[in-house]
Amino acid sequence: MTSARSQQVKLSAVISVHNEQDQLAECLKTLSFADELVVLLDDCSDRSGEIARTFTSQVIEGNWSKEGQRRNAGIDACAGPWIFEVDADERVSGELAREIRQTIAISRFDWHEILVDNYVGTRLVRWGWGASFGKAAYPGLFKKGVKSWGDQRVHPSLKWSGKKGPMLKMRLVHYVDRNISDMIRRLDNYSTARAKDLREQGKKDTTLNNMRRLISRFFKCYICRKGYREGGYGLLVALCAGLFPLLSHLKATLEDD
């Protein structure tokens, strides 16, 4: 990182992708409000790299086995004192872009959360997300050096320093699943990755405790986070959130890899 580059950049937008050629361009189009755009390509075999280079010269290629490592590498590559972290299936409205720029111009804080509107296909599903299956908000706007991801394959832990500021008012659009089948495939992929983490870390728990988590996480999403307001979609979100720890445990216990 050169000092000249650092002086020119106030806000870096960073995105890490693996074979996202179908979504990447639409996401990158919404990030022109940033002073710098960093795209990290994780073992991509499609046209993601070609697409990324039409938007920015700050393209990093590599192969990371864990989500936390990949996200940290993207953050490290940013020159700006403020960083906005986004995924390929997310879109930034003009209103949110303006609020982000206004926030970094006046904020006395170190990081801010951003509200998320999640879509399953064309259906907005606003209520019920959380408990490691989807996000209703996320800490996506932060100063460099205050946010660090943990060493996990899925849902890596976060370490923070500094002071949390107020949540932004405008919402990020997140096309989380194309349909119900895509939601179920995501649950399968997440639980497989989590099982690898559990085996690697030697974390042992009981099936009974994870059955309790199924109930508590379902209740959290369906009742506390008002998933019931979404009808069948809220029920599906709560079921997937509850099943995630139990499936991860069973895969870690019953399978070798």
Question: Does residue 167 sit in the same domain as residue 99?
Answer: yes
152 DSSP assignment? -
Residue 213, judged by CB atoms within 10 A of its CB (0-12, 13-18, 19+), counts as buried
Q: What is the mean pLDDT of residues 204-225?
A: 95
| Of 196 and 130, more confident | 196
d(CA 83, CA 144): 6
Of 126, 157, 177, which closes a domain? 177
CA angle, 114 then 119 then 125, to 5°: 85
SS3 199: helix
Question: Does residue 143 sit in the same domain as residue 104?
Answer: yes
Q: Domain span at residue 118?
A: 3-177
Question: Does residue 85 sit in the same domain as residue 192?
Answer: no
Q: In the predicted model, is pLDDT for residue 257 greater than 50? A: yes
d(CA 22, CA 20): 6
Q: pLDDT tens for residues 68-127?
A: 999 999 999 999 999 999 999 999 999 999 999 999 999 999 999 999 999 999 999 999
The CATH number that applies at residue 17 is 3.90.550.10
Q: What is the mean pLDDT of residues 165-181?
A: 97
Pairing of strands 171-177, 111-120: parallel
**Three-state helix/strand/coil letters over 214-243:** HHHHHHHHHHHCCHHHHCHHHHHHHHHHHH
Which amino acid is located at 225 in the chain? Answer: R
Question: Does residue 107 sit in the same domain as residue 142?
Answer: yes
Of 115, 147, 177, which closes a domain? 177
Cβ contacts of residue 217 below 8 Å, gap of 6+? Answer: 131, 132, 238, 241, 242, 244, 245
